[in-house]
């Protein structure tokens, strides 16, 4: 009989948003969803009852190999400052830096999962303006390396599995753990940044409720308007890995659906865009961030053609916060 998958979850330099997102998993919530998938949450800083000496004893048992576990989940960037000693973040109740605990426990785990873009790529805590010397587990921004090193592999032979996002969709976290529990997540199932391809092979643009406005290049000028957010408001949904609009959040929403431009938070260096988050940088009126695989000349030609064919209904609705011109209904007579 196959044993349960045991998960040890540590939190490094993080706001806790990844845990907040994960708590919304399915309709059952995180704990019951994992229980039904035969996944044991060995310890989690927000969900477990144990604290203080009990946790230190458990972690020491895991570090020494006395207590076996399968998955090390790390939420948050690894703070290695100052001067590489990691003492900007000491695990409460002890004297060892969190980065040291993570490095040691990673050697014992069968799998290591970075939960969120901070753990995957460093993200906002790794900003040059921050003195914490923050890193991701296996990347710092787009550069391989991170805390564990570019060539590091877990006991199963897999690199760090990067469930990136700020925060990641709860389904990405749960289904990644389920895939590991079933033994069906392999190296070929990860993209070039270690992200599970079951969600990273999609774009946020896929399934976006604003796609009719995108097709006709009918653009919004303010976040409250219905039009496409790419041309003026900095939306990177046509470039961002993720199935956010195919599996909506909290039962019915995504960033673009709620009126907020996609900021490509699943990708490294999203926190340092070319321009402001809610502005689209342009050269000669053409957005710098074009849809993936689309040459600039094609985009310009398509835009001119699309705008010339824009229905009056789409053009008017794009600059409103609700539908003012409904689709024409054909007569039944």
pLDDT at residue 333 is higher than 70:
no
Mean pLDDT over 313-326 rounds to 95
Task: Tell me phi and psi for residue 162, to 5 degrees.
Answer: -95, 95
Distances 166 to 102, 147, 194, 270, 302 between C-alpha atoms, Å = 21, 20, 16, 10, 32
Give the whole-number percent of the chain exceeding pLDDT 90: 75
pLDDT at residue 2 is higher than 80:
no
pLDDT at residue 1 is higher than 50:
no
pLDDT for 94: 85
Distances 188 to 116, 198, 257 between C-alpha atoms, Å = 21, 11, 32
Q: How confident is the model over 261-295, as pLDDT tens digits?
A: 999 999 999 999 888 888 999 888 888 888 888 88
Q: How confident is the model at residue 129 (pLDDT cuts 50, 70, 90)?
A: confident
> Which of 138, 56, 40 has the alpha carbon at shortest distance from 95?
56
> Which of 148, 170, 220 has the alpha carbon at shortest distance from 32?
170
Range scoring the smallest mean pLDDT among 50-54, 116-120, 216-220, 234-238: 50-54
Mean pLDDT over 161-190 rounds to 96
Q: How confident is the model over 52-77, as pLDDT tens digits?
A: 899 999 999 999 999 999 999 999 99
In contact, 11 and 76? CB cutoff 8 Å: yes
pLDDT at residue 112 is higher than 90:
yes
Give 3-state DSSP helix, strand, coil % of the chain, rounded to 5: 30, 15, 55
pLDDT at residue 100 is higher than 60:
yes
Our CA angle for 190, 270, 156, nearest 5°, is 25
**pTM metric for this prediction:** 0.93
Mean pLDDT over 179-188 rounds to 96
> Which of 158, 142, 153, 138 has the alpha carbon at shortest distance from 77?
138
Q: Distance between CA atoms of 143 and 302, rounded to whole angstroms? A: 34
Given the DSSP bridges, would you call strands 78-79 and 134-135 parallel, antiparallel or unpaired? antiparallel
Higher pLDDT, residue 296 or 123: 123
Q: Distance between CA atoms of 168 and 18, rounded to whole angstroms? A: 6
């Amino acid at each position: 009989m196959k044993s349960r998958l045991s998960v040890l979850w540590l939190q490094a330099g993080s706001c806790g948003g990844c845990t907040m997102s994960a708590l919304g998993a399915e309709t059952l919530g995180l704990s019951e969803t994992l229980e039904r998938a035969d996944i044991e949450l060995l310890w989690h800083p927000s969900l477990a009852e144990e604290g203080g000496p009990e946790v230190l004893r458990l972690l020491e048992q895991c570090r020494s190999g006395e207590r076996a576990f399968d998955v090390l989940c790390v939420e948050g960037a690894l703070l290695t400052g100052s001067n590489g000693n990691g003492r900007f973040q000491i695990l409460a109740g002890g004297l060892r830096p969190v980065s040291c605990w993570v490095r040691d426990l990673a050697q014992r785990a069968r799998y290591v999962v970075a939960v969120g873009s901070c753990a995957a790529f460093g993200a906002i805590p790794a900003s040059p303006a921050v003195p914490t010397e923050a890193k991701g587990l296996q990347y710092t921004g787009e550069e391989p390396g991170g805390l564990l090193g570019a060539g590091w592999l877990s006991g199963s032979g897999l690199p760090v599995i990067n469930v990136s996002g700020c925060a990641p969709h709860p389904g990405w976290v749960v289904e990644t753990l389920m895939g590991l529990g079933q033994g069906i997540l392999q190296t070929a199932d990860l993209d070039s940044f270690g992200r599970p391809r079951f969600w990273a092979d999609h774009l946020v643009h896929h399934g976006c409720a604003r796609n009719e406005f995108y097709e006709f290049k009918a653009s919004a000028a303010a976040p409250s308007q219905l039009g496409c957010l790419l041309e003026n408001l900095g939306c990177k949904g046509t470039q961002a890995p993720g199935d956010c609009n195919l599996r909506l959040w909290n039962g019915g929403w995504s960033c673009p659906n709620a009126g907020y431009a996609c900021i490509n938070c699943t990708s490294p260096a999203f926190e340092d865009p070319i321009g402001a988050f809610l502005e689209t940088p342009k050269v000669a009126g053409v957005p710098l961030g074009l849809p993936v695989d689309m040459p600039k000349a094609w985009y310009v030609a398509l835009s001119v053609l699309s705008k010339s064919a824009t229905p009056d209904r789409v053009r008017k609705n794009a600059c409103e916060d609700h539908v003012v011109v409904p689709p024409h209904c054909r007569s039944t007579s």
